[in-house]
Structure 1
Amino acid sequence: MSTPTPVLFIHGLWLHASSWQPWADLFAERGYAPTLAGWPGDGDTVEASRLNPDAIAGHGIDDVTEHLKTVIDRLPRRPILIGHSFGGMLTEKLLGEDYAVAAVGIDAAQIKGVLPLPVSALRATLPVFRNPANRHRAVSLTASQFRFAFGNAISEEESDELYARWTIPAPGKPLFEAAAANFSPNSPAAVRTGNESRGPLLLVMGGRDHTVPEAVTRSSFRQYRHSSAVTELLAFEDRGHSLTVDSGWREVADACLDWLEKQGL
């Protein structure tokens, strides 16, 4: 019997790795071997992460990338990567470096070369950018900040429930690095978009996303125009940044599974 294909789920800022558990259960039912990847300093649980924000602080894109490479190296073979927000950007980076057989970036954070900077994205990240010292800190969102950044397309009640269940402090450093990417020749937000031999990539976007609006995802998609490798775009026009964890997560997960099947994975 062949070994099940590994799938590594990568969270973004402000959500704990365990928020992927419903996806992991579904993928396991479909015959995959899922792993939930935390970031450096994350606690084993949401509560443990909230109690020790100093362990989360100060980790940048390169730190998280190297951490994820060690996780991948322990898997029986190269995985499929599925990431949300900054986790989506990390899937793009790792796929470009041939650490995966395929990747799905859901509302993936901006990579180097992306120029649009929508006002809603600035407002969503203002809790970090309002203080330059946050580059070295871990920053938590309030329930109202989470509702704007994640839960604007769902009810306030559901947004508050997701906030209470899944949110953890997030390092500010990756946001500062992404913001300066187009001015830095060696930015950690750079992705090998021209890689011709990489596996297929699906970029998923929410049409009502405040944190990573469609304009950002479409610009990321255009960065791959010089590669003949499979790169596809999928939109959920009525969804916000919470689309991987809210009550409509299954629709997104099923679409990702269907796409992977079409890629022979």
Structure 2
Amino acid sequence: MSAKGGQVRVMRVKDWTHPVRAVRREVLTATPEVDEGKPPVLFVPGFGHGAWAFTEHWLEHTASRGFPAHAMSLRGHGGSGPAPEATLRAYTHDVAQVAASLPRQAVLVGHGAGALVVTHALARYPARAGVLVAPVFGGWGTAGVALLRNPVGTLPAIFGGRLRLSRRQLFSRELPDAAARGYTGRLGRAGKRAQWQLLTHREPEPAVGNPPMLVLGSPDDRVVSAAALGRAARRYGAAPLLFPGMGHDLMLDARWREPIDAILDWLDKER
């Protein structure tokens, strides 16, 4: 562990002996009109999504509330460099590196499987706070639920193919069909190894510095069950913040403003 510029960075032997391959990283930014000294917020998308999923609504809205806002694409996603053999370790490396490049200690906000990546990054980067949005922590139980709800889209992913999520899984019926089709049409795919690791991953190490944590989602999410959402929140000694009637992609759904305002209200109280 070393300190530089007021930030602590956690290094491991494997980072030196088997470093993660460098790749171009897409990071999109929205800046507040006035610097109020609030911490930067780094949004981390889930598998298949890119930074674009946050630029639709949450990025500019976060900046309008006085928080410097950044949205990244994991390698192989969005505008980041291709990485067909990407692993959870590589995704974690991307998040920790982008967070460490920001001028102030950042808040990490992970969505879906991006929330799992954030929990691993929190063991390497001393975040100001962590927010897990509709977290997908994987495991065979998660795969079983996905198979029941979307067998055609899920089964190929278990054998290395592309995971295909449906409009009904991602969004509520309030979102117009044209918008839903547009968003689902932009979905990419995660690396085969990363998809497999989502099923077999190890538990994340404890977060550096014990940052405050917030877990939120929808009881009507057809990707993350209400029971799984509750288990994720209990890991951090709290109950999840719920938004009934919304789909898995809270940041793109019709009532997108409600969850991001709840996150930012919570961050203002934690300052």
Q: Is the TM-score greater than 0.5?
A: yes
Q: CA deviation at 1:67?
A: 1.3
Structure 1 residues 116 and 220: CA distance shift in structure 2, 3 A: farther
Structure 1, residues 152-188: CA drift from partner, whole Å, max 9, x if none? 5545714223223x4223333333212123xxxxx3x
The correspondence of residues 208-223 of structure 1 with structure 2, limited to 5 A, is 208-223=220-235
TM-score (norm 1): 0.76
Q: Which residue in the other structure is 1:228 paired with?
A: none
Asked if 1:42 corresponds to 2:77, the answer is yes
Q: Per residue, is there more helix in 1 or in 2? A: 1
Which string of whole-angstrom CA distances, capped at 9 and with x for unpartnered residues, describes residues 110-149 of structure 1? 16xx785475423447635436551xx6x263xxx42243
Q: Label 1:131 to 1:197 Cα distance change in 2 as closer, same or farther (>3 A).
A: closer
Shift of 1:234: 0.4
Gap change, CA 1:83 and 1:117, over 3 Å in 2 = closer
Q: Provide the identity percentage.
A: 23
Question: CA-to-partner distance for each residue in 1:13-48, whole Å, 9 max, x for gaps?
Answer: 12221110121101111111111111113342xxxx
Q: CA deviation at 1:197?
A: 3.6
The number of residue pairs the alignment matches comes to 234
CA distance in structure 1 between the aligned counterparts of 2:89 and 2:151, rounded to whole angstroms: 20
Structure 2 length-normalised TM: 0.75
Residues 81-135 of structure 1: CA distance to partner in whole angstroms, max 9, x if unpaired?
A: 1111011222222234443110111001116xx785475423447635436551x
More contact order relative to length (CA 8 Å, sep ≥ 6): 1
For the structure 1 residues 84 and 235, does the alpha-carbon distance in structure 2 shift closer, same or farther, using more than 3 Å as the test? same
Question: 1:118-157 counterparts in 2 under 5 A?
Answer: 119-122=144-147, 123-124=149-150, 127-130=153-156, 133-134=159-160, 139=162, 141=164, 145-151=165-171, 153-154=173-174, 157=177
* Contact 1:118 1:213 survives alignment (8 Å): no
Of 233, 243, 246, which residue of structure 2 is paired with 1:239?
246
Give the secondary-structure state (helix, strand or coil) at the position aligned to 2:251: coil
| Uncovered stretches (5+) of structure 2, i.e. residues with no partner | 1-34
Which stretches in structure 1 are left out of the alignment for 5+ residues? 182-186, 226-230
Which 4+ residue blocks in structure 1 deviate beyond 6 angstroms? none
Provide closer, same or farther for how the CA distance between residues 152 and 81 of structure 1 changes in structure 2, counting only shifts above 3 A: same
SS class of match (2:98): helix
| Correspondence 1:46-195 to 2 at 5 A | 55-110=82-137, 116-117=141-142, 119-122=144-147, 123-124=149-150, 127-130=153-156, 133-134=159-160, 139=162, 141=164, 145-151=165-171, 153-154=173-174, 157=177, 158-164=179-185, 166-181=186-201, 187=202, 190-193=203-206, 195=207
| Offset from partner CA, 1:216-250 (integer Å, 9 cap, x none) | 1211223335xxxxx55201121111221122111
